[in-house]
Chains A and B, each alone.
Chain A
Amino acid sequence: MKSESNPSQWEEFDLVLAPARGWVPVQLRQLWEYRELLFFFVWRDVKVRYKQTILGAAWAILQPVFTMVVFSLFFGRLAKVPSDGLPYPIFAYAALVPWAFFSQGLIQAADSLVGSANLIKKVFFPRLLVPLAGVLAGIVDFCFAFVVLLGMMVYFHVWPTVNVLLLPAFLLLALVTALGVGLWLSALNVQFRDVRHTLNFVIQAWLFATPIAYPSSLLPEPWRSVYGLNPMAGVVEGFRWALLGAPPPGAMIWVSALAAIGILVSGAFYFSRMEKTFADTV
Chain B
Amino acid sequence: MSNLAIRVDNVGKRFRIGVKEEQYRSLRTALTDAVTAPFRRAAAVMQGRASQASDEEIWALRNISFEIKKGEVVGIIGGNGAGKSTLLKILSRITEPSEGRIGINGRVGSLLEVGTGFHAELTGRENIHLNGAILGMRRAEIARKFDEIIAFAELDKFLDTPVKHYSSGMYMRLAFAVAAHLETEILIVDEVLAVGDAAFQKKCLGKMNTVAKAGRTVLFVSHNMGAIMQLCTKAIILDQGRLRNQGPCREVTKEYLASMVRQDKMDLRNEKRRSGDGRLRFVAAYLRDEKGERTELPVAGHAVDVVLEFEAQEELTQVQFMLTIFNHVGVAVTHCNMDAEGKRFRVPAGRGHVTCRIPKLPLPHGQYKISAVAADHIERLDSVPTACAFDVESSDFYTTSFMPAIEHSTALVEHSWSFSRPNGQH
B98 in contact (CB, < 8 A): yes
A2 in contact (CB, < 8 A): yes
From A15, A47, A124, give the contact of B94 (CB < 8 A).
A124
Pick from B94, B97, B108 the residue with the most CB of A within 10 Å: B94
Pairwise interchain contact B121-A48, C-beta atoms closer than 8 A: yes
Pairwise interchain contact B110-A123, C-beta atoms closer than 8 A: yes
- The interface-forming segment of A86-94, A114-122, A165-173 is A114-122
Per-position binary interface string of chain A over residues 102-132, scored 1 when its CB falls under 8 Å from any chain B CB and 0 otherwise: 0000000000000000111111110000000
Q: With the chains together, A37 CA to B138 CA distance in Å?
A: 9
Pairwise interchain contact A19-B99, C-beta atoms closer than 8 A: yes
Using Cβ atoms and an 8 Å threshold, which residues of chain A touch B113?
122
Given contacts A191-B24, A192-B27, is CB(A10)–CB(B103) below 8 Å? yes
Q: How many residues of chain A are within 8 Å of chain B by beta carbon?
A: 42
Pairwise interchain contact A194-B27, C-beta atoms closer than 8 A: yes
Given contacts A5-B101, A36-B139, A122-B94, is CB(A13)–CB(B7) below 8 Å? yes
| CB under 8 Å from chain A, chain B span 1-39 | 1-2, 4, 7, 9-10, 15, 19-20, 23-28, 30
Given contacts A13-B105, A124-B94, A279-B94, is CB(A44)–CB(B138) below 8 Å? no
B112 in contact (CB, < 8 A): yes
Using Cβ atoms and an 8 Å threshold, which residues of chain B touch A10?
101, 103
A162 in contact (CB, < 8 A): no
B264 in contact (CB, < 8 A): no
Pairwise interchain contact A124-B24, C-beta atoms closer than 8 A: no
From B9, B93, B106, B133, give the contact of A3 (CB < 8 A).
B9
| CB under 8 Å from chain A, chain B span 79-134 | 89-90, 92-106, 108, 110, 112-113, 116-117, 119, 121-122, 126, 129-130, 133-134
**A184 → chain B, closest Cβ, in Å?**
14
Using Cβ atoms and an 8 Å threshold, which residues of chain A touch B116?
118-119, 122-123
- Closest chain B residue, CB of each to CB of A117: B23
- Closest chain A residue, CB of each to CB of B26: A194
Q: With the chains together, A194 CA to B25 CA distance in Å?
A: 9
Given contacts A3-B9, A40-B129, A194-B27, is CB(A279)–CB(B102) below 8 Å? no
| CB under 8 Å from chain B, chain A span 13-36 | 13-20, 36
Using Cβ atoms and an 8 Å threshold, which residues of chain A touch B110?
123-124
Pairwise interchain contact A19-B94, C-beta atoms closer than 8 A: no
Pairwise interchain contact B103-A15, C-beta atoms closer than 8 A: yes
Pairwise interchain contact A192-B100, C-beta atoms closer than 8 A: no
Using Cβ atoms and an 8 Å threshold, which residues of chain A touch B108?
124
Given contacts A17-B90, A123-B134, is CB(A12)–CB(B105) below 8 Å? yes
B135 in contact (CB, < 8 A): yes
B65 in contact (CB, < 8 A): yes
Using Cβ atoms and an 8 Å threshold, which residues of chain B touch A51?
121
- Closest chain A residue, CB of each to CB of B121: A51
- Closest chain A residue, CB of each to CB of B91: A17
Using Cβ atoms and an 8 Å threshold, which residues of chain B touch A276?
95-96
Given contacts A3-B65, A5-B10, is CB(A119)–CB(B134) below 8 Å? yes
- Closest chain B residue, CB of each to CB of A276: B96
Pick from B10, B30, B117, B135 the residue with the most CB of A within 10 Å: B117
Pairwise interchain contact B134-A13, C-beta atoms closer than 8 A: no
Using Cβ atoms and an 8 Å threshold, which residues of chain A touch B1?
12
- Closest chain A residue, CB of each to CB of B106: A14
From A47, A119, A120, A194, give the contact of B122 (CB < 8 A).
A47
Pairwise interchain contact A190-B24, C-beta atoms closer than 8 A: yes
B229 in contact (CB, < 8 A): no
Q: With the chains together, A86 CA to B121 CA distance in Å?
A: 44
Using Cβ atoms and an 8 Å threshold, which residues of chain B touch A205?
none
A204 in contact (CB, < 8 A): no
From A3, A17, A37, A192, give the contact of B134 (CB < 8 A).
A37
Given contacts A119-B116, A125-B134, is CB(A12)–CB(B2) below 8 Å? yes
Pairwise interchain contact A123-B117, C-beta atoms closer than 8 A: yes
Pick from A3, A10, A17, A125 the residue with the most CB of B within 10 Å: A17
B243 in contact (CB, < 8 A): yes
A52 in contact (CB, < 8 A): yes
A80 in contact (CB, < 8 A): no
**A156 → chain B, closest Cβ, in Å?**
39
Using Cβ atoms and an 8 Å threshold, which residues of chain B touch A16?
101-104
Pairwise interchain contact B133-A36, C-beta atoms closer than 8 A: yes
Using Cβ atoms and an 8 Å threshold, which residues of chain B touch A12?
1-2, 4, 103, 105
Using Cβ atoms and an 8 Å threshold, which residues of chain A touch B105?
12-15
**B33 → chain A, closest Cβ, in Å?**
12
Q: With the chains together, A15 CA to B92 CA distance in Å?
A: 12
Pairwise interchain contact A40-B130, C-beta atoms closer than 8 A: yes
Q: With the chains together, A276 CA to B139 CA distance in Å?
A: 27
Given contacts A14-B106, A15-B103, A123-B116, is CB(A48)–CB(B122) below 8 Å? yes
Using Cβ atoms and an 8 Å threshold, which residues of chain A touch B95?
276, 279-280
Using Cβ atoms and an 8 Å threshold, which residues of chain A touch B97?
17-19
A281 in contact (CB, < 8 A): yes
Given contacts A47-B122, A120-B94, is CB(A280)–CB(B130) below 8 Å? no
| CB under 8 Å from chain B, chain A span 41-59 | 43-44, 47-48, 51-52
**B2 → chain A, closest Cβ, in Å?**
4
- Closest chain B residue, CB of each to CB of A118: B116
Q: With the chains together, A3 CA to B66 CA distance in Å?
A: 9
Using Cβ atoms and an 8 Å threshold, which residues of chain A touch B27?
192, 194
From B19, B28, B121, give the contact of A280 (CB < 8 A).
B19
Given contacts A122-B113, A124-B110, is CB(A40)–CB(B96) below 8 Å? no
Q: With the chains together, A121 CA to B85 CA distance in Å?
A: 11
**B54 → chain A, closest Cβ, in Å?**
17
- Closest chain A residue, CB of each to CB of B29: A192
- Give residues in A with beta carbon < 8 Å to B: 1-3, 5, 10, 12-20, 36-37, 39-40, 43-44, 47-48, 51-52, 118-125, 190-194, 276, 279-282
What are 6 contact pairs spanning A and B, CB under 8 A?
A13-B104, A18-B102, A39-B139, A119-B117, A121-B94, A192-B25
Please provide the 7 A-B residue pairs with the shortest distance between their CB atoms, ordered closest to farther: A13-B103, A12-B2, A194-B27, A124-B93, A17-B102, A40-B133, A276-B96
Taking A20-B96, A190-B24, A279-B89 as given, write out 4 further A-B residue pairs in contact, using a Cβ cutoff of 8 Å, ordered by the A residue number.
A12-B105, A16-B101, A16-B104, A18-B101
